Every structure is written in structure tokens, then in C-alpha cells.
Amino acid sequence: MRPSRTPRRSPTPALLLGLLITVASVLGYSWQISGQISRLRQLQTDLTDRNRRASLQLLRIQNDLNLLGLAMRDMREADQPYPVIAWSAQLDRIRVSLADALEREREVAPAERTPEQSEYLAGSVAQFWDAVDRMFALAAEGRDEEARTLIRVTLQERQSSLSNAVARLLVQNNESEAQTATRVQEIYRDVQRQVYWFLAVTLAAIVITSLYLMRANRRLFADLAALSDERRELARTLISTRESTLREISRELHDEFGQLLTAMGSMLGRATRRLPPDSPLRADLREIGEVAQSALDNVRGLSQTLHPSILEELGLESAITWHLSTVERQLGIRVSYEQHGEAVRVDETTAIHVYRVLQEAVSNVARHSQAGEAAVHLRFDADTLVLEVEDHGTGLAAADVRGLGLVAMRERAELLGGTIEFRHPAGGGTLVRLTVPAGAGPAA
């Protein structure tokens, strides 16, 4: 007796736990990556774009300072046909443009800009315009030479200082932009590393889960294979036990009851012959003898039905022919029989299983198909034996296909290493086709 197997734990809880961990990891990683991308976007907005706008305004300031430098160069020349006061309108336009540029630059100044730098630039510009106002005041009084001297001594120097300060701020903005680009690249590299780590962890989780599933499936299929072997062994044992029991009952009926009824018939015959011809007991004894003979015929028929001795003595073809000859009388249906191919001798085990499948199939036709006739074909193809039982009745329902009789037919086919099919022909009804090796015994 095989040892009982302990039930294995279902892999479902472990798989659900792995799924939850994977989903949580994906959500956590997605949240982290989204945060890093948001920080990167904010960094680009706050630093890169702001630096660029500030640099544009610084270039505008530098351009205005250059225009001031050109204007003051023309103003300080004594041979100019225009007095110094004539340049006041141009410098006023430059003052307005420069003030607007400074205001816009102060709004978008980068975070790295110190308050001292902003105050120095604003103070230098204010001092420059104060000196310009004094220069135009001198020019308005007709003191052009003093005004030109102020331009040469003070204004040009302050304009140059302002240009240098703006140039330094531009360099600082460029350096800040380069640092921002470096930080962005670092963030990209960090995100890339995290993506690689996440992919590695995910692949590892997939591999572990796959290995676990493969192991669980191997164990499951091993259990199923063991159960299938046990089921096949049980079916073989049950069928063998059934056949052995039927064989013993058949022999008991044939040998014991058959011989007893035969002896009774002989004794009745002797008793009848000893009576006078005109004795009234002769008719009674003759009637008893007929009853005994009928009982003997029934016992022999039942013995053949349980286990046909003709199967062992004359072979499968003769047993099929004999059985089908009794079907119409016993079951009430007509059966046509055809044999195809050159018959070969099959072993006793194959013969009894094929015979039992034929019995069950013909019995199903009589019980379920509501058909008055059926056709049986026995075909020998090389090393293969094919038995077909066909009717054109109502056909098999789904419940009939799962019935015990059909299950037993499948088990017999598997024991022989063959196959059995239940089909619905084009004309309706059922076709049972059994295909087994001609010399097959029970499958190992």
C-alpha cells in the first residue's frame, strides 16, 4: 500500500504577497521618479530659464551702456556742430530703456545673485545718471567745456565701470547656467541608475516568481501524475477483479449448475423410459425435462454473457459474431456487422477489453439512442485494431458522456494503450470508435 501524501500548501498566498510587493514597489518607484522629474522641471524653470532671461536683460543693459559710451564719445569732441545740450533727448531715451532693462533683470535675477551685487549695480547706475544730470546742467548754462571735461573725467569712467560690472554678471550667469546643466545631468544620471536598479530588482522578482511557479507546477504535475498512475492502477485492479469474478461465476454456472441440470435431464430421461408407455407420468416427466433443458440453456447463455468461453476458444471475431447474434433477441435492435482487413490473433487481455467495449456500446444504443438498428465495424490496419459502433438515434447528451459506462470504456482503452472517441456523425446519432494496438496488453 502506497504511503499517503500530505496535502501541499497552495502557492496562491505567496504569489499574492509577491504581487502586492511588486505593485507597491512599482507605485513607490513611480512616485519617486515623478518627484525627481518634478524637481528637475522646477530646477530648469527656476534656474536655467531664469538665468537665460536674466542674461538677455544683461545683454540689453550692456547694449544700452555701449550706446551711452558712443554718445559720450561724440559729446566730448569740441569740433561737434551741436552743443552738448542737444544730446539730452537721446540720453533720456537710453535712460528709459536702461531703467526698464534693470527692472526686468532684477525680477528674473538668479538666486545666486547676492543683494550686495544688486545694490552695487543699482547704486552705480544712479550715480552715473546723477553725473549726467550735472553735466547737462553745466551745458544748459553754456559751459560746454566744463560739461565735456565732466564726461571725460567722470562719466566715461563710470560707464566703463558699469559695463565691467554687467560683464561680470553675464559671466556669473553663464557659470550658474553651466552649474545648473551639470546638476540636471546628475539628476538624469541618478534617475537612470534608479531605473536600472528598478529593472534589475523587477527582473529578479520575475525570475524568483517564475522559478517558484515552475517548482510549484512541477510538484503539482508530479502529484497529478502520481494520482493518474494510482487511478490507472486502481482501474486496472478493479477491471481485473471484475473480469476475474465474472469468469469464476461463469465457470461456476457452467460447471456446477450446468452439470446439475444436465444430470437432472438424464435422470428424467431414464425415468421416462422405465415407465409403461401408457403411464400418465410420462407427460409430466417430459414437461419437467423441457423445463430443465430451458433452465440449462439460460444458465449457459448467462455464463456466456458473463464471460464468453468462445472468446478464449475461438477468438475475438467469433465472440463478436456470437454476441451480435443474440442482441436482437435480448435487446430488441438489429445490428449489422462488417469486418475489414485480414484478421490477426489478439491476446486474451485485448480481446476481453474490446469485447466489453462492444457490449457497453451496443447496450447504450439500446438504452439511450431510441434507434432500432446499429452498425458494427471491426477493422484490422497493420498493427492496429479499430472497433466502431454507430447508430443514428438521438445521440449522447453531456451527462451520458460522463456516465460510469463510458468512463469504464475510457479506462479500458487507456489500459490497452489506445484511444476511444465519441463522435456525432453527419446523419445524427453517435459513433464510438475504439483504436488499440492489435497485440496490446494493459498499459504499464
Rounded Cα–Cα distance for residues 398 and 226 (Å): 28
Instruction: Quickly tell me which residue has 447496450 as its cell.
Output: 363
Nearest to 414 by CA among 440, 396, 380, 432: 440
How many angstroms separate the CA atoms of 207 and 243, rounded? 52
Q: Measuring CA to CA, how many Å separate 142 from each of 72, 331, 389, 427? A: 18, 146, 135, 128
In order of their start, the domains of the chain are: 12-213 (1.20.120.1730), 308-437 (3.30.565.10)
CA distance 387 to 354: 8
Give pTM, 2 decimals.
0.49
Look at residues 43, 61, 218, 212 and name the one whose alpha carbon lies nearest to residue 128: 61
pLDDT at 439: 59
Structure confidence at residue 96 (pLDDT): 92
pLDDT at residue 55, as a whole number: 83
The side-by-side arrangement of strands in the sheet containing 334-340 is: 334-340, 373-381, 384-391, 430-437, 419-423
What pLDDT is attached to residue 44? 66
What pLDDT is attached to residue 398? 45
Q: For residue 375, what is its C-alpha cell?
A: 452498425
CA distance 251 to 294: 19
Q: What are the pLDDT tens digits along the chain (444 aa)?
A: 444 455 556 667 776 777 777 777 777 777 777 777 777 777 666 667 777 888 888 888 889 888 888 888 888 776 667 788 888 888 889 889 988 888 888 887 776 677 787 788 888 888 888 988 888 888 888 888 888 888 888 888 888 888 888 888 888 878 877 777 787 778 778 877 877 887 788 788 788 877 887 887 788 888 888 887 777 777 777 777 776 777 777 677 666 666 777 777 777 777 777 777 777 777 777 778 778 777 777 776 777 667 677 777 778 888 888 888 887 777 778 888 888 888 777 888 888 888 888 888 888 888 877 778 888 999 888 788 899 898 888 766 544 555 667 778 888 888 888 888 888 887 778 889 999 887 544 433
